[in-house]
Structures are given as structure tokens and as C-alpha cells.
Amino acid sequence: MIKTIYFATGNPRKVLSLKKALSDLPIDIIQYTGELLEPQKDNIKEVALSKARQAFSVLKDSVIVNDGGLVIPSLNGFPGPYTKYIDNTIGNRGIIKLLSNVLNREAYTTQAMVYIDKHGNEHIFEDQVYGTIAFEEDMTQNPRAWGNIWRIFIPKGANVPLASLPENIYKNLRITAQTSSVWSELHNILSKEI
């Protein structure tokens, strides 16, 4: 029997990634694009959990929310949960400008995935991918990109932003990063339910 799960996101690339990550399971992922309030919280996990609870209260069925952000320790964790807002305002060039006189360009992307099953049980997963911020924005078009951060974030083990990584290098980095990622943890939970 095929299990249906709603994925509350406005990003169709995230839906494709989730479908690919769960492709070996009998699960039908349905994108839910209903209006969800974006809470102003200082923690990405709290933002994802709030949105998942909102979606569950509307759908009354299994739902997934995946939220993430860019954390720059030398900027006191900014932009963190405000990454989407920063992307829509000052953008990558603004982030690069904020770091213009900063020696430590270390950063990490962090994401929280919340899965609420049809009974209302909440499962929360978090992970991070470490790297640095580029000195300039990479304008390479990349169909894998989820967002503009791909143009400035250089993952550990690479020397160019995600946007320019060749497929084979990206795949190796992704496999390494996802061995204990939110995607694999979600897969493990769902495979036990089926």
C-alpha cells in the first residue's frame, strides 16, 4: 500500500529532492503550498516545527517541513533563521559586503526537518554542512540549486561555491554529508512505518 505524505514547501526543487531520497519506499509525496506563517524565532528548528504544526492542523495528515539557513559565526550566527529574508533584501552581495573586513569566513548551512505522522507524533531532525563564504558571488546556473546561497557557500572539501561544483564532486560531498543527514534520518523513520 502506498503511503501519502504532504511536503509543506513552496520550493519544487525540495520536493524533487525528497522524492529522490525516498524513491525506494512506497510513498507518494504531495506538495502542499498553503499559507503558513513564518514565525520570527532565533532557531531554525523552532521555525520548522511551528510551520509543521500549522500544516498538520490544516491537513490532519502526515506532513513534512524542511527549513534551513546559513550561519556565519563571525557575524554572531547571522543570518540563521532570517536567511530567506536576507536573500530577499541585501542578498548574497550584502552578505559578502558584511564580511569584507572579516578574516574568519567560516560558515555552515543548517537545516531542520520535521515529520509529523498521521497520529500527530513529531519527529525532528537537524544537520549542518560546514564550509566558508566566497569572496564573490558565482553566477553559474545550476538546476540542483535550492536557493541563492549556492552561489556563495563553499562546502568543506571544495574550492568553489556549490553552484559551480561538477556533478561528481557534488555527489561525493552530498553522500558524505547525508550519511547522517535529516534526509537519511527521515528515510529510516519512514521505512519502519511501512
Query: What are the pLDDT digits (tens) for 120-142?
Result: 999 999 999 899 999 999 998 88
For residues 112 and 45, is the Cβ–Cβ distance under 8 A?
A: yes
pLDDT digits (tens, 9 = 90+) for 75-99: 999 999 999 899 999 999 999 999 9
Q: pTM of the predicted model, to two decimals?
A: 0.86
> What is residue 159's DSSP assignment?
S
pLDDT bracket for residue 152 (50, 70, 90): very high
The one catalytic residue among 28, 42, 67, 138 = 67
- pLDDT of 182 reads 87
Hey, what amino acid is at 81?
P
Span 155-164, average pLDDT? 90
Closest CA to 153 of 140, 166, 163: 163
**Has residue 170 got a pLDDT over 80?**
no
Could you confirm whether 28 is annotated as catalytic?
Answer: no
Amino acid in position 5 = I
The pLDDT value given to residue 11: 87
**Residue 144: its pLDDT value, please?**
73
Distances (CA, A) of 157 to 33, 46, 161, 164, 189: 35, 30, 11, 14, 30
CB neighbour class for 113 (10 Å; exposed up to 12, middle 13-18, buried from 19): buried
